[in-house]
Amino acid sequence: MNSKKYNMWLQYQPVTDSKVKEQYQLLLDQVCVIGDGIQLQAAKEELLVAVPQMLDKKFNVSNDPYNSRFVIGNKIKLAQHLDESKQAKLADKNEEAFLLSSDEKQLIITGNSDVAVLYGVHHLLRLMQLHADITQLDIVEQPKNQFRMLNQWDNFDGSIERGYSGRSIFYQNNQFAEDKTRIKDYARFLSSVGINAISINNVNVWEEETYFITKKYLPEIQEIASIFRTYGIKLYLSINFASPVTLGDLDTADPLDQNVQNWWKEKTKEIYEYIPDFGGFVVKADSENRPGPFTYNRDHADGSNMLAEALEPFQGKVIWRCFVYNHLQDWRDRSTDRARAAYDHFKPLDGRFHENVILQVKNGPMDFQVREPVSPLIGAMPNTNQMIEFQVAQEYTGQQIDLCYLIPQWKEVLAFDTHIKGEGTTIEEIVAGNIHHNKYSGVAAVSNIGDDENWTGNTLAQANLYGYGRLTWNPALTSEEIAKEWIRQTFGTNQEVLDTIEDMLLNAWEIYENYTAPLGVGWMVTPGVHYGPNIDGYEYSKWGTYHFADRDGIGVDRTKETGTGYTEQYQEPHQSIYNDLDKVPDELLLFFHHVPYKYTLKSGKTVIQHIYDTHYKGYEQVEGLIEQWNGLSNDIDRERFENVKNRLERQLENAKEWRDQINTYFYRKSGIPDQHGRTIY
The 3-state DSSP class for residue 102 equals strand
Catalytic-residue membership of 133: no
Cα separation of 213 and 451, whole Å? Answer: 25
Q: Which residue in 348, 207, 203, 399 sits closest to 288, CA to CA?
A: 203
Cα separation of 608 and 455, whole Å? Answer: 40
Spot the catalytic one: 389, 395, 428, 613: 395
Instruction: Count CB neighbours of 605 within 10 A.
Output: 17
Burial class (CB in 10 A: 0-12, 13-18, 19+), 617: middle
The 3-state DSSP class for residue 620 equals helix
SS (HEC) of 311-349: HHHHCCEEEEECCCCCCCCCCCCHHHCHHHHHHHHHHHH
Catalytic-residue membership of 350: no
The half-sphere exposure of 139 on its side-chain side, counting CA atoms within 13 A, is: 22
**Contact between 151 and 136 (Cβ < 8 Å):** no
**Contact between 648 and 629 (Cβ < 8 Å):** yes
Burial of 289-302, coded b for 16+ CB within 10 Å and e otherwise, reads ebbbbbbbebbbbb
Q: Which amino acid is at 511?
A: I
**CA-CA distances (angstroms) from residue 205 to 240, 305, 407?**
6, 20, 29
| Spacing of C-alpha 545 from chain mean position | 28
Spot the catalytic one: 161, 208, 350, 367: 367
Catalytic-residue membership of 46: no
Identify any residues that bridge with 385 across adjacent strands, giving them in sequence order.
Answer: 358
**Contact between 519 and 587 (Cβ < 8 Å):** yes
Residue 310 backbone phi and psi in degrees, to 5: -70, -35
Spot the catalytic one: 56, 288, 499, 653: 288
Cα separation of 296 and 285, whole Å? Answer: 12
Cα separation of 381 and 74, whole Å? Answer: 37
Eight-state DSSP code of residue 73: -
Identify any residues that bridge with 446 across adjacent strands, giving them in sequence order.
Answer: 151, 391
Cα separation of 262 and 244, whole Å? Answer: 10
**Would you list the DSSP string of 371-394?**
S-PPPTTTT--TTSEEEEEEESS-
**Would you list the DSSP string of 124-172?**
HHHHHHTT---SS-EEEE--S-SEEEEE--B-TTS-BTT--SSS-SSBS
Eight-state DSSP code of residue 552: S
**Contact between 613 and 519 (Cβ < 8 Å):** no
Please give the positions annotated as active site: 288, 367, 395
